[in-house]
Amino acid sequence: MSPWVAAGINLLAWPGIGTFVGGHKVSGTIQASMALIGGILSLSLIVVLFNLALEFDPTRFDTEEFMAGNGTYLIVGMTGFSLLAFAWIWAAVSSFLIANESKISN
């Protein structure tokens, strides 16, 4: 497989799948799992945004009350987003390593 295809899959489609098909089976599986879990957990941020849109009234918006009701969703969402970002960065590094391995073997 071309290292460009692996990099494209890793960076544009799903982090980890390009690493997996590029020959790094274990790290590709871990990256893909992290990206999936991170993406699912990141959906909690949408819940926070919907709750904010429903409750937002600039004349009487209570930040502490909002955070008390949505703090858990915010923490879960930010954790998921961080996990997804880490998987994407790891996939970018893996893509670089796959390209270097391809260059050495040719």
CA-wise closest residue to 67 among 55, 82, 79, 57: 55
In angstroms, rounded to a whole number, what is the distance separating the alpha carbons of residues 16 and 37?
A: 12
* Residue 29, both tokens: 């599986």
Per-residue pLDDT band for 73 (boundaries 50, 70, 90) equals: very high
Confidence of residue 1 (pLDDT cuts 50, 70, 90): confident
Query: Is the predicted pLDDT of residue 106 greater than 70, yes or no?
Result: no
What is the domain partition of the chain in residue ranges?
3-105
- CA–CA distances in Å: residue 77 to residues 3, 20, 27: 32, 26, 24
Q: How far is CA 101 from CA 7, 30, 62, 94, in A?
A: 13, 20, 55, 10
- Residue 62: the pLDDT is 83
**Dihedrals φ, ψ of 22, to 5°?**
-80, 0
